[in-house]
Amino acid sequence: MSTPLEALMIGVSGLRGTVGGTLTPQVALRMSSAFACWLKQNYKPLNDKYFRVVVGRDGRPSGPFVRDAVFSGLMASGVEVIDLDVVTTPGVAMMVRHTRADAGIVITASHNPIQWNGIKLLTRDSVAPPSGAVAQIRKLYDESANSYERVQQLVQPSRNTETHALHVKRILDYVDVNGIASKRFKVVLDSVNGAGCIVTSTLLSKLGCNLVHLNNTPNGQFPHEPEPIVENLSGLAEQVKRHHASIGFAQDPDADRLAIIDERGTYIGEEYSLALCAWWLFSKNPGGVAVTNLSTSRMIDDIAKRYYGKVVRTPVGEANVVDVMIREKAIVGGEGNGGVIDLRIVPGRDSLVGMAYVLQLMADTGKKVSELVEEIPRYQIVKTKFECRREDANRVVEALKRHFADEKVDLQDGIRIDWSDAWVHARPSNTEPIMRIIAEAPTRESAEQKIAKVQEIVRSVL
């Protein structure tokens, strides 16, 4: 029997639940059947015959049963399934387009612990469905809708093993392989026994790195809490110091997020992954455009100014960032949770892209990670949240809009208030009845003061 802490979550990030609790074979079958219905209601097959969906998974022990249930729903609906096996989330996104598929599914719970698994849905554009489509899919799921076919319309599944090799090749096409290899960087990598183990090892080997690979078996047995945040990476930091490495990299289980440890064993955080990659790309493309969400550090704005570029902000969500990147022809995009996006490779967050571009920046500048960090203005980000219904969140936003009417305000996603040296973003969650408040300022004290101002108004409204 499931508990309130095991609630089945369905939203823009797909479906997530606890194994044997809220996530069962029946739930996975129901979701893939609903997704097949949604495809049929909204699109025509790209091949004019039948729908094609690529499916990959991370290495969690529960992955095979979830995969098999997903396969059953899709195949019974007359969908051709292409099995990618254990691959990264960016790998699945890349293969949607490479195979001319109509959609993709990633069986992963991202950074959640081993008790969890999930089903992430991708459209034929290789991004998560927009909120309106998610609502349609959720309705079909709630109704247990299906569009099962007779035997004459069933399509045999197939298997594709190209993902890792193609992913590495695409990245190598956009960096100076010899330039990086000549530096013989010693890299300590923690793949947390996730989907990034094999492909990332291959990439770093091709880049001539001396690799110390921790937790390199893609079996989903996480040796520590898998989210790549400071409290979970003390072991990686120690190994960087022990091996006198140039840098430490940490991935999450599906390898779309990247955190960095500098050569001194100091966790510099996920926000720097995007900032450092943007630095290298702007240096090669002065005047370019970067796209990121409203909750990401303004370090990227400081870097863009150096190279006469600009930053365009979007609502939180990878799909929102990708949409605007395409519109703006952006050279880089991403989110502050360690997600770096280069549309030329994958229209989604990609830890491998992040690693290659950070190593390229180090090779080009001849500087250590700590020295690069010192050249970027430093900020402190403080985050908090509170329970709040959507209608109450809307009232809070209106009150904040009135109170800060003389400041620079962005209303795309809740409300973001900008000052010359700080910002606050207050937004309702897309998946939970909570409201998040995030602030960034030169000091933690200043950021906390900004949050306190917002909380004062929240209390007056609620």
Packed helices 89-98 and 351-365: angle between N→C axes, nearest 10 degrees: 100
List CB contacts of 418: < 8 A, sequence separation 6 or more. Answer: 407, 408, 409, 410
Q: Are 275 and 297 in contact (CB under 8 A)?
A: yes
Report the side by side order of strands in the sheet with 9-11. 9-11, 14-18, 116-122, 103-107, 52-57, 80-86, 158-159
Catalytic residue among 13, 110, 295, 297: 110
CB count within 10 Å of CB 182 equals: 11
Structure tokens at 343: 């549309």
- How many other CB atoms sit within 10 Å of the CB of residue 174? 15
Beta bridge pairs of residue 416 = 410, 425
Query: What is the distance between the alpha carbons of residues 261 and 461, in angstroms, rounded to a whole number?
Result: 42
Transcribe 20-86 into DSSP letters: TTTB-HHHHHHHHHHHHHHHHHH---TTSS--EEEEEE-S-TTHHHHHHHHHHHHHHTTPEEEEEEE
The Cα–Cα gap between 200 and 195 comes to 9
Catalytic site residue 420?
no
Region at 233 (left for phi over 0; alpha for psi -120 to 50; beta for the rest): alpha
Annotated active-site positions, please?
110
